[in-house]
């Protein structure tokens, strides 16, 4: 592939990935309102379009045309930069996420992801670890007590749970022997005894899976770990002083992070895009993407389900759970996995 085709293919893939991601963000907000509505025995959005399907567009238009208030007491450069940072890091991490096999269109062969790097997982972890700056700086630069407390809680929580999150992934890395997300998915192809798929969750990583899921909820500041934006005590937490599109950017960042986390969970533990293939060649090419999308949808649904069901942790419970339970479990899982792999080889 020469340079020109490389650039054209990359630009096309980037545009498609961004479009799909932003649409997914908009419609996961719709899905959340709808599902939480039904859990609470009400309808959710119904007025704009059939089943309220055009609600995200209406909301987007509203955010764009609302007055953009900047309170006089904020530290302006960082106040403006913070939502941009949050949404930038949230959208960048999708760049190394693969969504399907390598496809051949004409004489161009390209993987279904923006770029396949051999340290893909580390890049996602690096970008999400930078994502905390958006939240922390928003809290600090707003110069308001609610925002500051929200920002402090968010950074403490994200730094604490990042350790368990990272350690829970090491078991998967040991099994696959690579940082490349594509290689990790390829290592999960096939089945045990013909019917149990060789997903990492069935290769003894089930504890790691639940540690990852719990830590990921805390990383994305979602219920039951949504203390940084606890409405009952902090108004809205770190984005209390934000309005219009700047507020919407934090919202987008949160949902984009949820989608990234769901993608990673599917890739690392549930075999990525592996699933039954049948039908004509075109269907066979599309099915892996469909199976992957189905898994991501399932994770998003569980996110919303948890939000509709669980109450919020108390702050000391949050810290004690992260450091005294999740971290030792993650280390124990890592040691046991390493031992098993060492004995087997």
Partner 1 sequence: MLHLVLFLIFGAICVAGAVNLLVQRHPINSALSLVAVMASLAVEYLLLGAEFVAAVQVIVYAGAIMVLFVFVIMLLNAGEEARTGGSRVAILFGIPGMLAGSLLVAWVLITHSGTQEVSAGALPGPPREIANLLFHDFLLPFEVTSVLVLIAIMGAVVLAARPESIEQQKREG
Is residue 208 within 8 A of residue 330, CB to CB? The reply is yes
Tokens describing residue 316: 């000391």
Work out whether 117 is an interface residue with partner 1 (CB under 8 A).
Answer: yes
Site for partner 1 in 56-85 (CB under 8 A): 78
Work out whether 126 is an interface residue with partner 1 (CB under 8 A).
Answer: yes
Work out whether 125 is an interface residue with partner 1 (CB under 8 A).
Answer: yes
Please return the burial class of 154, using the count of CB atoms within 10 Å of its CB with bins 0-12, 13-18 and 19+.
buried
Work out whether 187 is an interface residue with partner 1 (CB under 8 A).
Answer: no
Query: Min. distance of Cβ 228 from partner 1 in angstroms?
Result: 13
Q: In degrees, to the nearest 5, what angle opens at C-alpha 341 toward C-alphas 338 and 345?
A: 140
Query: Min. distance of Cβ 22 from partner 1 in angstroms?
Result: 25
Contacting range for partner 1; rule: CB under 8 A; set: 120-128, 226-234, 256-264, 312-320:
120-128
Is residue 85 within 8 A of residue 151, CB to CB? The reply is no
Among 59, 162, 226, 254, binds partner 1 (CB under 8 A): 162
Query: Min. distance of Cβ 177 from partner 1 in angstroms?
Result: 9
By CB under 8 A, how many residues form the interface with partner 1? 25
What gap in Å lies between CA 235 and CA 7, rounded to an integer? 46
- Which string of x and - marks every residue 128-157 that binds partner 1 (by CB under 8 A)? -xx-xx--xx-xx-------x--xx--xx-
Helices (DSSP H) in the chain: which residue ranges?
3-39, 55-65, 76-92, 120-130, 132-141, 145-176, 181-186, 206-219, 231-234, 244-269, 281-309, 315-320, 327-344
Smaller CB distance to partner 1: residue 18 or 119? 119
For residue 224, whether the previous peptide bond is cis, meaning omega lies within 30 degrees of 0, is: yes
Query: Where do contacts with partner 1 occur on this chain (CB under 8 A)?
Result: 78, 117-119, 122-123, 125-126, 129-130, 132-133, 136-137, 139-140, 148, 151-152, 155-156, 158-159, 162, 179
């Amino acid at each position: 592939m020469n340079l020109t085709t490389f650039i054209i293919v990359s630009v096309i893939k980037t545009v498609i990935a961004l479009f799909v991601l932003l649409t997914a963000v908009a419609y996961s907000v719709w899905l959340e309102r709808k599902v939480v509505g039904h859990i609470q025995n009400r309808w959710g959005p119904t007025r704009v379009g059939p089943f309220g399907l055009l609600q995200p567009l209406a909301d987007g238009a509203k955010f764009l045309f609302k007055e953009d208030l900047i309170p006089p007491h904020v530290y302006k450069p960082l106040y403006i930069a913070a939502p941009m940072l949050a949404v930038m890091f949230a959208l960048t991490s999708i760049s190394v996420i693969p969504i399907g096999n390598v496809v051949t269109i004409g004489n161009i062969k390209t993987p279904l992801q923006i770029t396949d790097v051999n340290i893909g997982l580390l890049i996602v972890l690096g970008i999400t670890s930078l994502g905390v700056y958006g939240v922390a700086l928003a809290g600090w630069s707003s110069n308001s007590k609610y925002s500051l407390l929200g920002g402090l809680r968010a950074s403490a929580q994200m730094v604490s749970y990042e350790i368990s999150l990272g350690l829970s992934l090491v078991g998967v890395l040991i099994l696959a022997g690579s940082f490349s997300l594509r290689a990790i998915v390829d290592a999960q192809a096939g089945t045990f005894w013909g019917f149990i798929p060789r997903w990492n969750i069935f290769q003894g990583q089930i504890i790691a899976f639940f540690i990852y899921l719990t830590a990921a909820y805390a990383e994305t500041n979602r219920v039951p770990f949504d203390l940084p934006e606890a409405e009952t005590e902090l108004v809205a937490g770190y984005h209390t002083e934000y309005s219009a599109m700047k507020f919407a950017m934090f919202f987008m960042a949160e949902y984009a992070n949820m989608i990234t986390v769901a993608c990673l969970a599917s890739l690392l533990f549930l075999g990525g895009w592996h699933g039954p293939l049948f039908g004509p060649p075109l269907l066979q090419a599309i099915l892996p993407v469909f199976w992957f999308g189905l898994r991501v949808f399932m994770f998003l649904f569980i996110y919303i389900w948890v939000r509709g069901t669980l109450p919020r942790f108390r702050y000391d419970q949050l810290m004690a759970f992260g450091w005294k339970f999740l971290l030792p479990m993650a280390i124990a899982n890592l040691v046991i996995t390493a031992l098993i792999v060492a004995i087997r080889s």
